[in-house]
Amino acid sequence: MTDFLADIEQLIRCESPSSDHDAVARSAEVVAELGRRLLDAEPERIVIDGCTHLRWRFGDAPRVLLLGHHDTVWPHGSLATHPFTVKDGIMRGPGCFDMKTGVVMALHAAAAQEDRGGLSILITGDEELGSPTSRALIEEEARGCEAAFVLEASGPGGAVKTRRKGTSMYRIVVEGRASHAGLEPEKGINAGVELAHQILAVTALGDPAAGTSVVPTVLSGGTTSNTVPGAAVVAVDVRAWETAEQQRVDRAIRELRPVLDGARVRIEGGINRPPLDTASSSALFQLASKLALDLGLDALEETAVGGASDGNFTAGVGVPTLDGLGAVGDGAHADHEHVIVEEIPRRTALLTALVRSALTN
């Protein structure tokens, strides 16, 4: 266990904010070195638009995919405010829960396989950004696989994630016309007012009964306090359990039209990740539940979550997918991020058994 914790510490101490390609490249080298030592195999480095991803393939054609990411949401300097520590059975440090512990677990589980033929390991570097450079790579690697195991952190109490909402991301860009707010406001077209109309319109597209949320998030507009704003923009986050709901909201957003005469509205973005539904995960959850009991572990629980992961992509191309197999703890993206240390070997044993079963069946 000491060696396992040392591997996790090494990865956590290499800060890897998603937006910094150099930092992500350095983190990739740490992951690569761990993989070389544990697997006695060199990874393929795949750099797409400056972002570094790693892939190990064993055998001719992948049948089982281990999927994780080594980027985090934590900015440079986070180790100073959230140092790596292990105290009273709790590990802390930026990215420990989401999901550097899971990356190390994947490598150790792969190393424990007597025969790795048919196994692929893909560790990406931009998941926290929505996987803009790695989506096609993930989908390509998953196609033809019989199972995808995603090392994202677990749900409450160690529950694996058998259902995830699909996500869509938009920017509503408004163009108006600037003018002096005191001398001649009537000559302007107020982009802020237009944006307010658009925000109310998109918010009304949510359907709580269906679990569909449409949430305006980051917004900006204007230049000075005495100028009618000539431009404004808002980001919109959409989550839905069903593909039909994603598509309904997508159509409605693209049909938005200006309310103010002379204003212009442009829609950027769209559907990012399809939903991961229980049809994709049920058989693997049943297998994992049986293996957990065989290993003497507690009965495995499942959960549905609103957050999306790269498992949405593998499920979206028709590959059976089980998510949330990584660390047990809490606090993803938050100050209280932590991992329960005693659960690491248990989860790794379960993952090892899952991979072995999937490779041999």
Q: Catalytic residues, which ones?
A: 71, 127
Q: Six-digit token pair at 322?
A: 């089980």
Extract the tokens encoding 247. Answer: 């598509």
Q: How far apart are CA 260 and CA 291, in angstroms?
A: 61
Q: Is 95 left (phi over 0), alpha (psi -120 to 50) or beta?
A: left
Task: Please give the structure tokens belonging to residue 91.
Answer: 């590990």
Nearest alpha-carbon partner for 70 in 102, 42, 118, 92? 102
Report how far residue 140's alpha carbon sits from residue 136's, in angstroms, rounded to the nearest whole number: 6
DSSP of 299-348, one letter per residue?
PP-EEEES---THHHHHHTT--EEB--S--EE-TTSTT-EEETTHHHHHH
